[in-house]
């Protein structure tokens, strides 16, 4: 589906009103792909995801998500945050809580979820006591079991070791194949190349480029992307 997520004249002004944290006149994402959002620190990538999720409200502009009749029973957007928050409960209780909220949408048991996300050994451990990588797997599991049409993933492998990264990337691909739209924020350029079908580059709240992966990697139009791809500091 073309223009599945349509962002128009989106502006988010800082609290003091002195600068635009986000300023995106036009940005669109198709429904069946993994779209990657990259950019330097403080560029506004996480803010953009939070705006799409509705965790923060824009100062101006609109974000529209197309839906079909068969999607009526589905939650539209689900997010895995960079610093996820959990209930003060065990891993399995957190999963069970979210499954109970979505029980009429998806018939899976918490044991299946624990197994798929390699969290069996951690099921009785309090979610807040998990290691960084385990927390990310749990956060990803919770985002996926809500059965949303769009998955917003904010640096899902930031604290993960190579093996966990492979597992998480495999799950992301499976979810994309299953028909979910994935918006992935990452700093990891090789990961962006491995997973992304289209890439958007954000710098200082503006989208400098959004195009097909091959074009993005081989023929970037702006010098900031070249700098970023070559590991230079983007100012």
Give the residue among 234, 204, 231, 228 at the shortest CA–CA distance from 216: 228
Least distance to other proteins, CB of residue 225, Å:
31
The set of residues, in sequence order, having a beta carbon less than 8 Å from that of 16 and lying 6+ positions away, is none
Question: How many binding residues for other proteins (CB under 8 A)?
Answer: 19
If one asks whether residue 35 binds other proteins (CB under 8 A), the answer comes out as no
Q: H/E element holding 62?
A: strand 60-65
CA distance 51 to 57: 6
Q: Applying CB under 8 A, which of residues 91, 122, 136, 146 lies at the interface with other proteins?
A: 146
If one asks whether residue 123 binds other proteins (CB under 8 A), the answer comes out as no
**For other proteins, which is the closer residue by CB, 151 or 208?**
151
The set of residues, in sequence order, having a beta carbon less than 8 Å from that of 225 and lying 6+ positions away, is 201, 208, 209, 216
If one asks whether residue 214 binds other proteins (CB under 8 A), the answer comes out as no
Residue that has been written with the tokens 């290691």 in this structure: 131
CA atoms within 13 A on the CB side of 3: 6
Beta-bridged to residue 153, according to DSSP, are: 80, 184
**For other proteins, which is the closer residue by CB, 83 or 223?**
83
**For other proteins, which is the closer residue by CB, 98 or 114?**
98
Q: Applying CB under 8 A, which of residues 7, 29, 45, 86 lies at the interface with other proteins?
A: 86
Binding to other proteins (CB under 8 A) within 62-81 occurs at 75, 78-79, 81
The first and second tokens of residue 120, run together, are: 């069996």
Q: Applying CB under 8 A, which of residues 62, 68, 71, 87 lies at the interface with other proteins?
A: 87
Least distance to other proteins, CB of residue 167, Å:
22
Q: Which residues of 136-153 are buried (b: 16+ CB within 10 A; e: fewer)?
A: bbbbbbbbbbbebbbbbb
If one asks whether residue 101 binds other proteins (CB under 8 A), the answer comes out as yes
Least distance to other proteins, CB of residue 139, Å:
10
What residue ranges bind other proteins (CB under 8 A)? 53-55, 75, 78-79, 81, 85-89, 97-98, 101, 126, 142-143, 146
């Amino acid at each position: 589906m073309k223009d599945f997520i349509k962002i128009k004249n989106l502006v988010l002004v800082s609290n003091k009103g002195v600068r635009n944290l986000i300023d995106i006149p036009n940005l669109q994402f198709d429904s069946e792909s993994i779209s990657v959002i990259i950019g330097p620190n403080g560029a506004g990538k996480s803010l953009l995801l939070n705006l799409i999720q509705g965790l923060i409200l824009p100062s101006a502009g609109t974000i529209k998500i197309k839906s079909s009749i068969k999607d009526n029973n589905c939650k539209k957007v689900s997010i895995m945050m960079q610093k996820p928050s959990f209930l003060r409960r065990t891993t399995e209780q957190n999963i069970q809580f979210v499954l109970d909220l979505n029980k009429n949408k998806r018939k899976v048991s918490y044991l299946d979820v624990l197994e798929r996300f390699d969290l069996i050994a951690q099921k009785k451990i309090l979610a807040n006591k998990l290691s960084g990588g385990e927390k990310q797997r749990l956060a990803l599991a919770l985002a996926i079991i809500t059965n949303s049409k769009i998955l917003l993933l904010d640096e899902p492998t930031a604290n993960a070791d190579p093996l966990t990264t492979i597992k998480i990337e495999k799950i992301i691909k499976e979810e994309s194949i299953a028909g979910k739209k994935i918006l992935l924020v990452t700093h990891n350029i090789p990961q962006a190349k491995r997973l992304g079908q289209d890439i958007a580059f954000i710098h200082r709240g503006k989208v400098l480029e959004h195009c097909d992966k091959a074009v993005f990697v081989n023929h970037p139009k702006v010098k900031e992307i070249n700098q970023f791809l070559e590991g230079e500091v983007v100012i």
